[in-house]
Amino acid sequence: MTIQTVATTPFAGQRPGTSGLRKKVAEFLQPGYLENFVQAIFNSVGDCAGQTLVLGGDGRYFNRTAVQVILRMAAAHGYARVLVGRGGILSTPAVSCVIRKHAAAGGIVLSASHNPGGPDGDFGIKYNVGNGGPAPEKITEAIYVATQTIAVYRISDTAAPPLDQLGISQIEQMRVEVIDSVDDYAALMSELFDFAAIKALFAGGFTMRFDGMHAVSGPYAHAILEGMLGAPAGTVINGTPLEDFGGHHPDPNPVNAAELIALMFAPDSPDFGAASDGDADRNMIVGRAMAVTPSDSLAIIAANATVAPGYRAGIAGIARSMPTSTAADRVARALGVPCFETPTGWKYFGNLMDAGMATLCGEESYGTGSNHIREKDGVWAVLFWLNLLAASGKPVDTIVREHWARFGRNYYSRHDYEAVDAHAAEDMMEHLRAQLPELAGQQFDGFSVALADDFVYTDPVDHSVATRQGVRIVMTDGSRIVFRLSGTGTEGATIRLYLEKYEADPARHDIDPQVALAELATIAAGVSQLKARTGREHPTIVT
């Protein structure tokens, strides 16, 4: 068997975004497209010889083919061992868990996460480093630079082994270990949470629906909820990963998980509902007739961290992405721990967790996690809530309302304008940036601007600086308007508008968030000239 050196030429635009390289499947299917990017990874991560690599994806269309190609390329680069999930399946949190547990040098995750799949959908690829987390910008930029000068890639001509059976085989010098997709991850979860208490909860008749959205969380939820925790069969719905996610958009929010929301708002709803995204790192938490916002979920988890055995000793700190509401900051203050504000994307949390500065991290985009791994973790968040429900004996809505009564409510909403003309979106951002110097001190309809900037983050650990991370307009009462462009879309630009308003008075905690935030939305529309500049009357999606 021989290692072939294949001549190739660069493809434009192979620059990783918020979370890896995401493109339409058709683009990935071009000969050499995947190979070039993988070669660029191997060129950028240093010496692969003798190392262990973890490999798996969310099961979307092209996952299996890509796994086979990457195995043959890894062998050509001298890896000693690749741990690959059975059937090529590993959730993003499971990859992170397996990298850490088996001291791998890194891992490759095949997923476009919450983006739709199937032949007409999206595909994605991401490199994770030895701490189990997404490669920092220094490495993703090096990968991009390598893609732009690439001339050859190297691949073994040995066929990849079948992926559906656990076991060990060989390509060139490299050992291929097909591992169970769930085992290591499930073992870690059982160390963090009070499985006996959650089991007793289900045994007592507690009812739940977990919507796997036909994506990769299904096998994990089946094994843990229905297997280890004794939840009745049927608790997990849409639990079989499909290459096209059943034609659905595997993004767990009240709009895309409409079926679950309808169930949870019906009179005979289960006690608890949850959903996860394409690669199982996101989560949505739903109680009876109440969807918990991700920002509130992070704050509530932080306030109650010690109910779970893995966090009994308390938390060192919290980190949230800049657009995420400041609800967690209030909890951090009460606990006397720091709260860090980072740019959007999980890669910015890694250093804080490695340095022991943050235990819990979260994003407004349905992402929550902790230092147990270095990715956000959907099933972890669901298990945390189950542990909390079991320990408190209270339903979700009581827990949320009591939290608001104690800390106040941060009304919050995100308005997404998808597939906007990219130039128009950039112009709108420039228009916003141009106004920043004059905005502070201005009055708008009862609000006064305290601070207006384009968010800059200096990492407190390695002092790296990330600029242009979102325009924020912060009012003197703490209300916020944030604008940024998405870094995960594959069509034109997506404008994200984030709105937040704080309300201390419990008598005013029952307002429809869109009503509570209407004045801020009007101010945002005026300052940005979004409608005139993009031609959009309304957001594509409101969450």
- Active site residue ranges: 113
Tell the smallest beta-carbon distance from residue 541 to Co ion (Å).
Answer: 16
Give Cβ neighbours of residue 365 (< 8 Å, ≥ 6 apart): 282, 294, 321, 344, 414
Interface ranges with ligand VG1 (CB under 6 A): 18-19, 113-114, 277, 281-282, 321, 344-346, 363, 365, 367, 486-488, 496
Q: Residues 70, 144, 322, 328: is their CA dihedral positive or negative? A: positive
Which lies closer to ligand VG1 via its Cβ, residue 202 or residue 417? Answer: 417
Which lies closer to Co ion via its Cβ, residue 126 or residue 533? Answer: 126
Would you say 119 and 25 are in contact if contact means Cβ atoms under 8 Å apart?
yes
Pick the stretch among 68-76, 203-211, 269-277, 414-422 that binds Co ion (CB under 5 A): 269-277
Which lies closer to Co ion via its Cβ, residue 88 or residue 345? Answer: 345
Which lies closer to ligand VG1 via its Cβ, residue 181 or residue 324? Answer: 324
Outline where DSSP puts E strands in 231-315: 236-237, 272-276, 283-287, 290-292
Which lies closer to ligand VG1 via its Cβ, residue 76 or residue 530? Answer: 530
Question: Which of the choices ligand VG1, Co ion, none does residue 345 contact, using the CB cut-off of 5 to 8 A by kind?
Answer: ligand VG1
Pick the stretch among 3-11, 83-91, 111-119, 255-263 that binds Co ion (CB under 5 A): 111-119
Structure tokens at 514: 């869109």
**Between β-strands 447-454 and 367-370, what pairing exists: parallel, antiparallel or unpaired?**
unpaired
Tell the smallest beta-carbon distance from residue 127 to ligand VG1 (Å).
Answer: 13
Q: What residues form DSSP beta bridges with 237?
A: 211
Q: What's the rounded Cα separation, in Å, for the pair 533 and 503?
A: 32
Kind and range of the H or E run holding 480: strand 480-485
Residue showing tokens 């407004």: 364
Q: What's the rounded Cα separation, in Å, for the pair 276 and 113?
A: 10
List 113, 368, 413, 479, residue binding Co ion (CB under 5 A): 113
**Between β-strands 122-128 and 106-110, what pairing exists: parallel, antiparallel or unpaired?**
antiparallel
Residue showing tokens 């597939």: 419
Tell the smallest beta-carbon distance from residue 68 to Co ion (Å).
Answer: 23
Question: DSSP string covering 60-111, please?
Answer: -TTHHHHHHHHHHHHHHTT-SEEEEEEEEE--HHHHHHHHHHTT-SEEEEE-
Q: What's the rounded Cα separation, in Å, for the pair 500 and 478?
A: 8
**Number of residue whose CB is nearest ligand VG1:** 113
User: By C-alpha distance, which of 59, 89, 83 is closest to 71?
Assistant: 83
Question: Which of the choices ligand VG1, Co ion, none does residue 96 contact, using the CB cut-off of 5 to 8 A by kind?
Answer: none
* By CB under 5 A, residue 226 contacts Co ion: no
Would you say 186 and 224 are in contact if contact means Cβ atoms under 8 Å apart?
yes
- Residues 465-489, buried b or exposed e (16+ Cβ, 10 A)? ebeebbbbbbbeebbbbbbbbbbbb
Tell the smallest beta-carbon distance from residue 408 to ligand VG1 (Å).
Answer: 24
* By CB under 5 A, residue 279 contacts Co ion: yes
* By CB under 5 A, residue 58 contacts Co ion: no
Tell the smallest beta-carbon distance from residue 201 to ligand VG1 (Å).
Answer: 28
Tell the smallest beta-carbon distance from residue 366 to ligand VG1 (Å).
Answer: 8
Question: Which of the choices Co ion, ligand VG1, none does residue 18 contact, using the CB cut-off of 5 to 8 A by kind?
Answer: ligand VG1
Number of residues that bind Co ion (CB under 5 A): 5
Tell the smallest beta-carbon distance from residue 530 to ligand VG1 (Å).
Answer: 17
- SS3 (DSSP) at 323: coil
List 35, 194, 226, 277, residue binding Co ion (CB under 5 A): 277
Question: Which of the choices Co ion, ligand VG1, none does residue 211 contact, using the CB cut-off of 5 to 8 A by kind?
Answer: none
Structure tokens at 257: 């998980």
Question: Which of the choices Co ion, ligand VG1, none does residue 351 contact, using the CB cut-off of 5 to 8 A by kind?
Answer: none
Tell the smallest beta-carbon distance from residue 351 to ligand VG1 (Å).
Answer: 16
Which lies closer to ligand VG1 via its Cβ, residue 51 or residue 113? Answer: 113
Q: What's the rounded Cα separation, in Å, for the pair 168 and 166?
A: 7
Pick the stretch among 66-74, 112-120, 300-308, 526-534 that binds Co ion (CB under 5 A): 112-120
The footprint of Co ion on residues 128-157 (CB under 5 A) is none
Question: Which of the choices Co ion, ligand VG1, none does residue 496 contact, using the CB cut-off of 5 to 8 A by kind?
Answer: ligand VG1
Question: Which of the choices ligand VG1, Co ion, none does residue 486 contact, using the CB cut-off of 5 to 8 A by kind?
Answer: ligand VG1
Pick the stretch among 80-88, 270-278, 476-484, 511-519 that binds Co ion (CB under 5 A): 270-278
List 281, 296, 329, 377, residue binding Co ion (CB under 5 A): 281
Beta-carbon count within 10 A of 20 CB? 26
C-beta pairs of 310-315 under 8 Å, 24+ apart in sequence: 310/191, 310/192, 310/193, 310/370, 310/372, 311/192, 311/359, 311/370, 315/359, 315/360
Which lies closer to Co ion via its Cβ, residue 77 or residue 114? Answer: 114
Which lies closer to ligand VG1 via its Cβ, residue 217 or residue 304? Answer: 217
Binding mask 282-301 for Co ion (x = CB under 5 A): x-------------------
Q: What residues form DSSP beta bridges with 153?
A: 6
Beta-carbon count within 10 A of 431 CB? 16
Tell the smallest beta-carbon distance from residue 496 to ligand VG1 (Å).
Answer: 6
Which lies closer to ligand VG1 via its Cβ, residue 115 or residue 410? Answer: 115
DSSP class of residue 489 equals: -
Which lies closer to ligand VG1 via its Cβ, residue 184 or residue 277? Answer: 277
Tell the smallest beta-carbon distance from residue 297 to Co ion (Å).
Answer: 16
Q: Which residues bind Co ion (CB under 5 A)?
A: 113, 277, 279, 281-282
